[in-house]
Amino acid sequence: MKYSINLLLNSKLLWSVASAWVLAQGLKVITSFLKEKKLKLHRFIEPGGMPSSHAAMVIALLTGVGIKEGVPSTLFIVTLIFSMAIIYEAIGVRRAVGEQAEVLNQIINKLPGAKKIKLQNKEGRKYLKEILGHSPLEVLVGSIIGLVMALIWLR
C-alpha cells in the first residue's frame, strides 16, 4: 500500500495533470477579477469560464501518455477518445445548459411570484448557475496550459 502511494506521489504524469488543473483554476480567479473588478476566490473550485480546466487536465494527460507510452499505443488512443468526449461535453452540453440557465434566470426574475420559488438563499433568490461550459477559446487556452504542463513535467 505504501509503495502504491509513493508511486502515485512520484508520478510526473499525475503532477502534470494536477498542475494543469491548479494553473487553469487559478487563472479563472484572475480572469474573473479582471473582468468584474471583484476578487472571487470561489471561482477556484467552480466549473466554466476562462480557461477550461477540463481541457487543461485531459490534454496534459493525453500529452503525457503520448510521451510516456507512444502515440500509436492503445493507452494513447483510449486517452484521446476520452479527451475528445470531455472537451465535446464542455463545449457542447455544459455550455448549452449554462445558456438555458441564463434564460431561465431571466424568466424567473420577471415572474410576479418569483420569491415563492424554492430556489432561495439568504438574499431571497438563488439563481441557476450560468457559467458551466466553455467557449472554443476557453478550451483552446486550457489545452495550451495542459500541453505546456505536460511538456514541463515529462520532458
pLDDT in tens, 61-111: 999 999 999 999 999 999 999 999 999 888 877 667 767 777 777 777 777
d(C-alpha 95, C-alpha 136), whole Å = 10
Taking 70 as the threshold, does the pLDDT of residue 119 lie above it? no
Q: What is the pTM of this model?
A: 0.77
d(C-alpha 141, C-alpha 146), whole Å = 9
Q: Give pLDDT tens digits for 1-28.
A: 677 888 888 899 999 999 999 999 999 8
Cβ-based neighbours of 80, under 8 Å, separated by 6 or more: 62
- Residue 123 confidence (pLDDT): 54
Identify the helix (H) or strand (E) that includes residue 77: helix 74-88
d(C-alpha 88, C-alpha 82), whole Å = 10
Place of cell 418569483: 114
Cα torsion 16, 22, 25, 31: sign: negative
- Residue 37 confidence (pLDDT): 87
Cβ-based neighbours of 42, under 8 Å, separated by 6 or more: none
- Residue 81 confidence (pLDDT): 98
- The SS3 call for residue 134 is coil
d(C-alpha 138, C-alpha 32), whole Å = 13
- Residue 127 confidence (pLDDT): 63
